[in-house]
Amino acid sequence: MQTSIELRIRLIYHDRVRRRLERDRARQRHNSARFHRYAACQYATRSPFLRCAVHPDIQCETCCDYSP
């Protein structure tokens, strides 16, 4: 049978894991929302690191090759 100290340590550990999972899920939601904004272009790379395959250094709206 677990002592109260062991139980408390276990609950603290589970709380830390739960908070880390929530933070990671929030980060994934934020990144996917940002990515889908640029995915409308046919030249989008579908990568969170590189936005455009043709002109990676300019915004999609100002690109001369932008075609949704």
Report how far residue 45's alpha carbon sits from residue 19's, in angstroms, rounded to the nearest whole number: 32
pLDDT band at 64 (very low <50, low <70, confident <90, very high): confident
- Tell me the average pLDDT of the chain: 77
pLDDT band at 19 (very low <50, low <70, confident <90, very high): very high
Please compute, for residue 59, the number of CA atoms within 13 A of its CA located in the half-sphere on the CB side: 3
